[in-house]
Structure formats: structure tokens, C-alpha cells
Structure 1
Amino acid sequence: MPSLYGQQPGPLSWAGSEALRLYLNVRYGGRIKPLSLKAQPSALHERCVQLQAGDSETSNIHEIGLLLSSIRMGYGHHRIARAVITWADDMHPALLDLMSVDAPQSGLIRDMEGLYSLFSRLSFDIGGPMQALWNAILLRGTIDTLAISTDLAKQYSPLFSSLQKDLLCMASYPFAAQMAVAAGFTKVLNLIPDNHPQYYLLAPGARNVVQTESSCARFQKMGVPADEIECAGHFVPRSIAENVAIDAQHRIERRRRNAPLRCLLSLGGTGAQAGFLRKLIERILPAIDEGRLFLMINCGEHADFASELISLLEAKKIPFTEVDSSEGLSRFGRWHAISSDEPTHAVTIFRFTEHGLSVRATDELIRCVDLLVTRPAQVAYFPVPKVLLRRLADHEIDSSNYLVELDECDAECSRPEQAADLILSMLPEDGPLIRRNEGIQRRSETGLYLGARRAVEMARSL
């Protein structure tokens, strides 16, 4: 195999590539075949279409100006794609989720996502040896891993065969960027999630873009040329980024008048923290009952979790309402923005059947709340004070440390009781929220939260 970033892949990369090739042959019938695509509406954003398998007669993709290539692994990768779309809606963007394409060719990617979700849940619930194993897997992003991934990308490149090779491509998953490069695309931006540099996150031949200066510097120390890696800032949707300062000011004023604390809890795409969140919610129910706390809980597509919460709230006689549609989400956002009226119910449960709507809900609800409760995932880079829950795996620790250094949060809470107590400590006027919102206002003046806009500008310049 050819050298990558000045390093020669070892025998492991060749063996891994051959094993994957054999697996593809046995399970999916060998060579990946070209795929015709058609556009259909996307729940992720109203100005974006989503590409699905079609045929040459139904293809309607000629108007696409920007391809957002991604893979649905949890919510974070699509969250990055959506942030970019909000800054590029004049470019006729189209999302190509390589896992959701209804074609046999996506089988391996679906297998990978299934294993990722399963091991994330087992690691979080069991801990110990299971967590150590999962950490070891996710931290092994070596040059051999990159070599295996780029070799596999060549086999998958026919999935891009119906698209023009001079089409601008921005990818929010490294394998998707590697496939675009292997398919002959000449204008590819690889939007790198996380803050822990690993070789397999890179796409040789693409322009790689990260969210933090520290990540950029560490990639360069790993041998990535300075002209192949660049820091843009946090990937944040346009409506949030353009209203950072005013939303932070409203949050400051709410604390000064001792308004109820609005908290957003979002269950991630894997559903790994469902049990953790349930125990957390049980512990803060008294404050909700007293009217000091409002909860907005995005259950996403996790119907069982939503049903458990409804049973809990009914048993405790806590008033709640549900939102399960795009129209309901938009209406809630208009009526209960951080500058507007309090919600009419102590708890609002958001539940959806569409992946795109589940991602969009958390994005839009950020502008309705004082506090975000999340693990150190992609949404934690959004400019809002937050309580960090225990990470799913150790590759997230660099994001956690970075956000603590910014003073947007405290260290991760390893137990539900610790997280609940930390939320309750935010209620008094002399808590840390005023200071943290003032810090967010200062950082907004530096352009830190304009990473998605800068990434689009980089793409336009290719």
C-alpha cells in the first residue's frame, strides 16, 4: 500500500483490506455496483433534498450544487451536515446518507452502524472490561486503519457514479469523504468531528477541516501538511450562530430575575444513555413540581424511552405535553424562544419517527433553553451553557476537556445523581450561568461559532 502522511502502512492494513473484501464477497455478492440516485424532500432541513436509490428514468439530481455526503452514526455527523446546509441553502444542497440509501450496496455500512450502537450501549451500561474494549477500538485510528478505510473507499466509489465529478462535496464522515476522493471528485472538504486527532478521520486528497486550533496543531504534528488541514471553528447552524450574543443576553437577564431554568435533555442517536437520563430526571422532579425548572426532552426516535418517561410523569402527576411533528416543533420554537413565554407545561417530550427531524429538534430547541444537558458530543460545541454527562468512549475526552477550558461547563458527571445536583446548583442567581453566558458573548466576537459558515466559504473557493 502507498505511504500516507509520510508513514508506510504495515501488514495489518493489507490483511484488514483483504478480510473486508472477502466479507463483502460472501455477504453482499461481491463488487459494489453503480447506483442511480433521485432526490426527495429531507426532514433535516426544508431547503435540502435527500438522495435515494432510483433509476436513470426517475433521476432528478441535475440541479444539485452542493453534495453533503455523510453516514448516520448517531446524530453528530448529520448535525454537522445540517449546520453546513443552513449556511448554503442557496447552493441547492443535497444530503447523501450512505447508510440510508435503499440499496444492497449500503449493507456493510448498516452493519457498521448497528455494531457501533450496540457496543456503545453495552459499554455505557456494563462499563469495566466492555468499556475498556470499546475505548481500545475507538482509539485505534492508526495509519493502518486509514489505509484500510481508503482501500475500502475505492470499492465503494461506484455509489457516486451518477454524480458529476466536479460537483462540490462536503463530507461530515471521513469514510464518505474518502469515497468521494476515490470516485474522482475534485472538490472535497472533509469536516472532521470530535477533538481527538486520529489518522482514520482524515481524507487524503481532500481539504480537511477541524473545529479547534488544538486539533489542527496536533494533526500537523502527526505529519499532515499545513495546506491539507485547517481550523474553521465550531460547526453551528446559522440561526444559532447569528443570534449568539442576544440569546446569551436573554439567558443572563433570566437568571437575574430568577426565572425558571429551562433545560434541554437530548438522548443521542445510539440511545446509550436512556437509563442514565431516566434516573437524572427522577431526581430533579421535585424542582419541576415546584415550578423552578422546565424540561424539554428530545427522545428522538427512541419510542421506548419516551413511553417510559410518560409513565413516570403520569405516576408522579407532573404535567407534560408531547410534540411529534415538524409543525409542532416549529410552533414550539416560535412560541417559547428564550426571549418569549414560558412553556405551558412543566415537561415537554419531543418524539419523532424520522431521523432528520430528531436531529433538527435539538438544533432548534437550543434557542429555547438556558441549559443543555448532553455528553461531550457534537451538539456540545453549540454556544450554550451545558452540563456534561459521562462520555460514551474515551475519544470524547478531548472534547470534554476543551469545553471545560472554555468554561462553558464543568467536568463530566459520571453518575445521574451528580448531574442532577449540578443542574439544581444552576438555579440561584449567583450560580455560574451568568459568567458562562458572558464568556460565550466574548467568544462570539472572535467568530469561534462561525465554523460552518467558514467551511462553506472554503468550499466555494475550491
Structure 2
Amino acid sequence: MADKSKIIFGNPMSAKDYKKALQSKKKFLKKYGDDSKAAYAAKLVENATLTAPLGVMDIRVNEGTNEVPFDTEKGIIVGNIRMGFGHYRISIAMASAAHALGYTPYWMDLNSYKGTTCTKVIGGQNDLYSLGSRLSQKSKLFNKFVWEPMNYEGFRQLSYNAADQKNAELMAPVFHSVPKDIPLIGTHVWPAQAALHAGMKYVVNAIPDNWPMALHLAEGATHTIQTHQSYMGYRILNGFKKKQVLKPMPAKDLVYTGHYIDHELVANIEKDCDARMSRKKNGEPMRFLLTIGGAGAQRELFAAVIKYLLPAVKEKKAAIYVNVGDYKAVWEELTKEISGLEALSTTHFNDWDDTVSFSENALVAPVEGIHAFWHENIFEAVYCTNLLMRSADVLLTKPSELAFYPIPKLFLKRIGGHEKWGAIHSAEMGDGTLECEDIPHTLQMVSLFLNEEATLKYMCDRIKANKVAGLYDGAYEVVKLAMAKKSE
């Protein structure tokens, strides 16, 4: 196999950058060990949260031998990591689309294999990313001089990809017992890179966000993107070596698909948008869904919005869903800070049956007050937002992966410069606001949604029109592309 850190899409790396890539791999080997000769077993087990609704089976590595055979005809692997909630959410969308199309989705989380060098490397990186996200919300100086530049330009450079490719070589051993002819969709670049290093034959690299960065390159895979702006940026590797004009990505390696969205959400767009407008016209409480990201940041913004909406909740003009993911401490901090919050709230904590029941009833029954959701299980923590989305009127979120979902959206301040392009794209598509970069502008948009009909109607109309145009069909298209690679 060609050294993917020396030449990237025909663009040679400098000796200095290649040496840095080698040193990066060497550092991780020294810190986490070398398991390149390990013959890890792989087995399939049911996923407690996702098997029932989506047919998902987990691929477990280094936990014993397999009793359930892999389906090499209908099976498709969704390769992912937990780094924040975004990549898990995209993975769920892929699994949902695969299930709807008649395939068997296999869930392969490279950050879940205890004892392997792969998981140790990813876990260390994940801890650093989460810390950086939280610090960026607490320190304006750190955000301005470290976090924003790293997420905006640092990850954009080919030199970063060169180092990642070397590090991904350390992740390949977990694929030892996985059949190499099952198509794999990577919803983070590391599973895609690792799969290629391990000899997986049919790899699709589903790129997130709307800001082209070399971080997301996995040469040898088919790259898919959600926006036309991203297509052009990746096609010419725009800015990947600062102002240098680079050799472009081959056209065959890059495919525009549209947004990566769950089948259940896409199939019900018209029904859910009509229900939103019906509630608005009937004067029912407007439902605001606040969802915190996997890094656990933005509690201060949550608090400001909840305080602002409390009078409307008491007057039954508004209702609030708060999903704190797997960060129970965030809810505890909110209840301490906001007087009267606890008295108005119903908690749905660590009871998945209760959460599913609430989300189903909310589609047909009135909702009042404040409903808080916390789940210790990561799948439940992430999927909770997906279930609540259908019955919510407005989603309040930072402009990351949720920027692409078919629900009216109010965008909170970003965490990392790359995220701002998600809000820009959504505003252009008409299904979300501009990014609200401070609390006053956030509350201005909350007021518009709450006190008038025009903003909600505009977004609902655009969402229905976008569906007709195929904007939200990306997950289906990625799955079809991955399965088609077997017949090329």
C-alpha cells in the first residue's frame, strides 16, 4: 500500500511534514503500545437501544468469538467514534437509512474497544477535544487564539491529514476479524482511514459539516458531502496548503449526496411541519427543544433561554424540552441557577421506555411545562434528541451536525470556527436562523418564534420544499453508494 502520508491526492508532503507525521505515530506507540500483531476476534451482539427500531447490531472487538455470522450480502458497517455527539448522530442516520432500504446495519465504534491501541489513541484525542470545547466557552482568549484557529485553519491543512493517516495505521488491527468485503461507511475520517489501512474493500467516507478541511480526507475511499459549497472546496482542496494551488481530488472520489438524515424524520416531514403550524394557529404552547452537545458546553446559553421562557411556560404559551445528553450535572447546575425551574419540570431520567413513550405521545397529545431528559447510555443520550425532534416546533442548537436536520432551527453560538458554515448553509436553505453570536440576539429570535407565525411558517414551507428537491436524502444516497461499490 502506498504511504498515504507522503503524497495526498498527488500532492507531495514536505520532508518536514512527513517527519512530523512519523513522530506523531511514534509518540502514540510509545504511550499506548503496539498491537499490530494482535489477532482480535470480532463478534455481533444486539444494541440495547438501536436494534429494535433500526435493526442495528454492534460489532464488538476483543470480547470473544462470534456466534452470529456476518451477512456479507446485506450487511453494511457504520464505522464511527464517539467524539462529541455529532458523529454518533450521523451514524444513526446512516443506520436508519440502511434499515429502511432493507440492509443490516453493523455499528463499529472504534472508541469502544478496551485494551486496544486504537481506542486508547482515540480516547486520548477525544478527551483533549472535549476539554478544548469547554475551555472555548469559558475563555474568550483561548477561543480566539487557540480553539477557533485550530478548528478553522489548523485542521484544514494537508499536514494535519498526513499525521492522521500515520496515526490511523495504529487503528487497523481492530478490523482483523471483520469480513473485508462488507461495505463500510465512515462517519468520522479515522474509521474510514483505519478501514483502508486494514484492507477493507468498499469504503465510503461521509464528511460532516460545511467547511472543507484536510482533516476529513481518507484517500482510497469515496468521499461524500452534504453541500455544494463543500463539493467545490474539496474538489480543489481549497486552502489545504494555504494559498498554494493543489492538484484536485479526482471527480470519481467525491460525491454530493445532500443532508445525512434519519429515514423516520425524512418520511414524516410534511406531517410534522403541518402539526407545527396547527399548534401555532390553535394557540398551543410552542415547543422549544434545547439539546446540549457531547462536549457538555453552552450551559450558560441554555440558562439564559430558559429564564427568558419561564413566564411563557407559566402562561402556557411555551413548553420546553431539555436534553442534557449524558451530562446530568448540567441539569443539576441549571436547577440551582434558575429559580422555579425544578417546580415546573418533569424529569425523564435514565428511563428509556419513558422517553420513548413521551416522544410518541407528544406527536398526538398536548404538551405543557418543562421536560428534562438525561440518559447515562450514550445511544439513548444521542437518540433522545432524534425522537423529540418530530414533536418539537423549534430546535435550539449550535450549528454542527444538527444544522442539517429538517426542523426549524435557532442557532446558538458556535463551538469552533468550522461550525459557522453550518448556520450559513441552513439560513440559505431557509430551514434555520443566522448564528446568534450572543445572548441578546438569541433571545430576539426566541421572541420572534414565540410571538409571531411568520418565521415558523417560512421555515416549515422551506423544509417541505427542500424535501421535494431531495435535500434531506443524503443518508439514503450514501448507503446506496456504499452498496454499489461491491458491483463496480
Of residues 21, 46, 70, the one that matches 1:41 is 46
Deviation at 1:189, TM superposition (A): 0.7
In the other structure, the counterpart of 1:290 is: 315
SS in 1 for 2:78: strand
CA contact (8 A) 1:289 1:318 kept: no
Change (3 A) 1:55 1:350: closer
Q: Give me the TM-score of the superposition, normalised by structure 1.
A: 0.95
Indicate which of 355, 359, 374 corresponds to 1:329.
355
User: Of the candidates 404, 408, 421, which is equivalent to residue 427 of structure 2?
Assistant: 404
- Distance change >3 Å, CA 78–CA 317, structure 1 → 2: closer
Assess if the C-alpha contact under 8 Å between 1:283 and 1:417 holds in 2: no
322-331 vs 362-371, which moves further: 322-331
Show the counterpart of 2:460: 437
Matched letter for residue 79 of structure 2: S
Q: Is the 8 A contact 1:256 1:429 kept in 2?
A: no
What is the CA-CA distance between 1:317 and the residue it aligns to? 6.3
Contact kept, 8 Å, 2:345 with 2:371, in 1: the verdict is yes
Which residue of 2 is the match for residue 264 of structure 1?
289
Q: Residue 396 of structure 1: CA displacement?
A: 0.9
Partner residue, 1:14: 18
Distance (Å, rounded) in 2 between the aligned partners of 1:317 and 1:115: 33
Distance 1:61 1:281 in 2: 49
Q: CA deviation at 1:270?
A: 0.3
Cα offset, 1:289, TM superposition: 1.3
Residues of 2 paired with 1:363 and 1:188: CA distance?
A: 26
Match of 2:111 in 1: 99
Match of 1:183 among 198, 223, 226: 198
Question: Could you list the runs of 5+ residues in structure 1 that have no partner in the other structure?
Answer: none
2:242 alignment partner in structure 1: none
Deviation at 1:220, TM superposition (A): 1.1
Map Cα deviations across residues 310-343 of structure 1 (whole Å, 9 max, x no partner). 4456745642211132211210121001xx2122
Using the TM superposition, give the Cα deviation of residue 57 of structure 1 relative to its aligned residue in structure 2, in angstroms. 3.6
* Cα distance, 1:12–1:364 mapped onto 2, change above 3 Å: farther
Deviates more, 1:419-428 or 1:106-115: 419-428
Q: Within 2, Cα distance between the matches of 1:67 and 1:317?
A: 42
The alpha carbon displacement at 1:125 in A equals: 1.6
Counterpart CA distance in 2 for 1:162 and 1:391 is: 40
* Letter matched to residue 16 of structure 1: K
Cα deviation, 1:225-245, whole Å, max 9, x if unaligned, reads 111101111101011001112
User: Which residue of the other structure, out of 429, 438, 442, is the alignment partner of 1:419?
Assistant: 442
Separation of aligned partners in 2, 1:284 and 1:35:
52
- Please give the residue correspondences for 1:93-242 in structure 2 after superposition, counting only pairs within 5 Å: 93-105=105-117, 106-139=119-152, 140=154, 141-222=156-237, 223-242=248-267
Q: After superposing the two structures, state which structure 1 stretch, 232-241 or 269-278, moved more.
A: 269-278
* Deviations, residues 275-310 of structure 1 (Å, cap 9, x unaligned): 221222122211111111100000110010122334
- Secondary structure of the structure 2 residue equivalent to 1:240: helix
Question: Which ranges of structure 2 fall in alignment gaps of 5 or more residues?
Answer: 238-247
Distance 2:188 2:227 in 1: 17
Give the total of aligned pairs. Answer: 459
Distance 2:158 2:165 in 1: 11
Aligned to 1:62: 70
Q: TM-score, normalised to structure 2's length?
A: 0.90
Partner of 1:53: 61
CA distance in structure 1 between the aligned counterparts of 2:332 and 2:171, rounded to whole angstroms: 39
Task: Please say if residues 264 and 297 of structure 1, whose CA atoms lie closer than 8 Å, have aligned partners that are also in contact.
Answer: yes
SS of residue matched to 2:277: helix
How far the C-alpha of 1:75 sits from its partner, in A, is 0.6
Q: Distance in 2 between matches of 1:314 and 1:38?
A: 50
Contact 2:61-2:174 at 8 Å conserved across structures: no
Of the three residues 47, 63, 85, the one matched with 2:95 is 85
Among candidates 386, 407, 429, match of residue 363 of structure 1: 386
Paired residues for 1:343-382 under 5 Å: 343=367, 345-382=368-405
Change (3 A) 1:408 1:288: same
Q: SS of the residue aligned with 2:431?
A: coil
Residue identity in the other structure for 2:61: A
- Take 2:278 and 2:411, find their aligned partners in 1: how far apart are those partners? 23
Are 1:28 and 2:20 an aligned pair? no
Q: What one-letter code is carried by the residue in structure 2 that aligns with 1:366?
A: M
Query: SS where residue 423 of structure 2 aligns?
Result: helix
How many Å apart are 1:221 and its aligned residue? 2.1
- Percent identical pairs in the alignment equals 25
Deviation at 1:248, TM superposition (A): 1.2
Partner of 1:245: 270
Report which stretch shifted further, 412-421 or 178-187: 412-421
Distance 1:56 1:126 in 2: 45
Q: Does the CA contact (< 8 Å) of 1:264 and 1:366 recur in 2? A: yes
| Distance change (3 Å), C-alpha of 1:39 and 1:346 | same
CA contact under 8 A between 2:335 and 2:342: conserved in structure 1? no
